[in-house]
Amino acid sequence: MQKQLEELHTQALSELERVSESRELELWRVHYLGKKSKLTQLLRSLATLPLEERQSIGAQANEIKKALETGLIEKREILEETSLISSLEQEGLDTTLPGRPISAERLHPVTQTLEEIYDVFRNMGFQIFEGPDVEWDYYNFEALNIPQWHPSRDTFATLWVDSPGEGARLLRTHTSPMQIRIMENSRPPIRAIIPGRCYRYEATDATHESMFYQVEGLAVDKNITLTDLKGTLFEFCHSLFGSERKIRFRCDYFPFVEPGVEIAIQCLACNGTGCRVCSYSGWVEILGAGMVHPDILKRVDIDPEVYTGFAFGLGVERIPMLRYDIDDIRLFYSNDLRFLKQF
Ligand code: PHE
């Protein structure tokens, strides 16, 4: 009996090995594990055997039953897998091709640049503020020493917003109005940077967009001098463009600062020899700055005899444009993934 059982075991397993489709597997199951199978019948007739035999044969038969059941389950899994693959192949799917890479999320190049700018100024103790995109004429112009008649208004191609009876409203043309708002609401010492969108009613071309980003900076305290302005902004330029990069520092005019300055860096594209990017001058202007005008300090009730300050405003898109040799500012906001995915 023992020998018979062993033979049954090996025969069943070798037949199972040869099974190659699920219909055959079902026949195999009925034959070896079904109600009428030898094994089942033997297990049923155990009771008729003498006690000793009953125990040893019973144990052996049960073990074989378990082994066959495990074999059945394993075979079933293998067959299911192969049938899935072959049906995919019939549909024309090559299951040996590597999977498509899942594209990683990434930040917009302008956002990446902003984060870098925040890091530099955060390390120097500046706090980040935000302000409204729709601004009053008062903050955008009047309070910044640009009254109605001032010729400097002409340089800001302003988008006006209808605001009947409430005073003139507009889409801010620069982030400088936030200088006033911050000084109205806090007292020195002030160290602030203000990122934000600005708008100008301009024909767009490779270097002009009607919407762009600026980052404004403002520091007001006792004993702040032009040297602090220069040191802070040189540090900023060197952090972003490398310590070797030459920086040009010279006079400029903005009604809300006195004196006013302009900072340019040596062109990244040609290293100063002159090219299309820098209009063949070797330099690229990246920010305007200056010492906060004493009239402005007075306007927000800060005593210019006690406090002084500096302010600056920089164009954000220009930084990635210079670094990555991007020749059209409109690419940033046209939502073309072929462009955006490169960063
Ligand atoms: N707001 C100025 C501009 O848009 C830049 C600036 C900011 C200049 C702060 C001086 C001080 O051109």
Q: Is the CB of 289 under 6 A from ligand 1?
A: yes
Residue 169 pLDDT level (bands cut at 50, 70, 90) = very high
Report the candidate in 228, 226, 155, 235 with the shortest Cα–Cα distance to residue 191. 228
Quick one: 219 exposed, middle or buried, by C-beta within 10 A (0-12, 13-18, 19+)? buried
Given a cut of 80, whether residue 162 has pLDDT beyond it is yes
d(CA 1, CA 46) in angstroms, rounded, equals 12
Torsion 107-108-113-117 (CA) sign: negative
Flag whether the pTM goes above 0.75: no
Report the candidate in 336, 234, 341 with the shortest Cα–Cα distance to residue 289. 234
C-alpha to C-alpha distances, 144 to 43, 133, 298, nearest whole angstrom: 100, 17, 12
Q: Amino acid identity, residue 37? A: S
Phi/psi at 267 (5° precision): -55, 130
Given a cut of 80, whether residue 1 has pLDDT beyond it is no
pLDDT at res. 263 = 96
217-261 pLDDT, tens digit each: 999 999 999 999 999 999 999 999 999 999 999 999 999 999 999
> How many CB atoms lie under 10 A from the CB of residue 119?
11
Count of helix runs (H) and strand runs (E) in the chain: 11, 10
Ligand 1 pocket, mutate which of 175, 176, 285 (most atoms under 8 A from CB): 176
Q: Is the CB of 65 under 6 A from ligand 1?
A: no
pLDDT at res. 210 = 93
Residue 40 pLDDT level (bands cut at 50, 70, 90) = confident
Ligand 1 pocket, mutate which of 215, 233, 254 (most atoms under 8 A from CB): 254
Q: Is the CB of 313 under 6 A from ligand 1?
A: yes
